[in-house]
Amino acid sequence: MQRVKLDRIDRRILADLQADGRMTNVELARRAGISAPPCLRRVRALEEAGCIKGYHAEIDPTVLGFNVTIFAHVGLGSQAEADLRAFEDLVTRWPEVRECHMLAGETDFLLKVVAHDWDDYQRFLTSKLTAAPNISHVKSALAIRNSKSQPGVPVDVEAGPEPESE
């Protein structure tokens, strides 16, 4: 994806939507210092450019009974591109895997897995993860607590060029 040139207003819109994706266009425009129609045009342009990938609700996992988060360090037997992609494709079909990151170093992939309890994770581990093709090793790390969970990226609202008049 090519880099998009973002002015101060675009960055303000991104920061505000990242903090509250349900914010109305009127409120978003007010915070950005522009009227609602150009604000909506900017949001649509940011979506089309791929800056905004989607909107979601943040759900407390414990409300749905997911009381355990595990980080699984996965090593593959082969790091050929086709094997890496095959593993990534397989992971997309496992709903308990919430994140999958390919890493450089000893571990090929880091998976964030949610489970109802430790036994539930062990069933996932033995029936799906270690049973998958090309798995060399898995090291599991149980998360004790989460002291920070902030999706997205830090948006420097003041960076970039000044906006052109709307």
Percent of the chain with pLDDT over 90: 88
Nearest Cα to 51, choosing from 96, 13, 105? 13
- The structure's pTM equals 0.85
In CATH, 61-142 is 3.30.70.920: yes
Q: What is the side-by-side order of every strand in the sheet holding 109-115?
A: 97-102, 109-115, 68-76, 135-142
Q: Which residue has the tokens 């009127």?
A: 26
Domain regions of the chain by residue span: 8-48, 61-142
The mean of the pLDDT values for the chain is 94
Phi and psi angles of residue 7, each rounded to the nearest 5 degrees, phi first:
-95, 180
Contacts of residue 162, Cβ cutoff 8 Å, sequence gap at least 6: 7, 8
**pLDDT per position as a tens digit, 106-151:** 999 999 999 999 999 999 999 999 999 999 999 999 999 999 998 8
Tokens, residue 52: 């905004």
Tokens, residue 160: 């970039």
Using 50, 70 and 90 to split pLDDT, how confident is the model at 160?
low
In CATH, 8-48 is 3.50.7.10: no
Q: Where are the beta strands (DSSP E) in the chain?
A: 68-76, 97-102, 109-115, 135-142
Residues 14-21 have a mean pLDDT of: 95
Nearest Cα to 34, choosing from 3, 7, 4? 7
Nearest Cα to 65, choosing from 130, 126, 119? 119
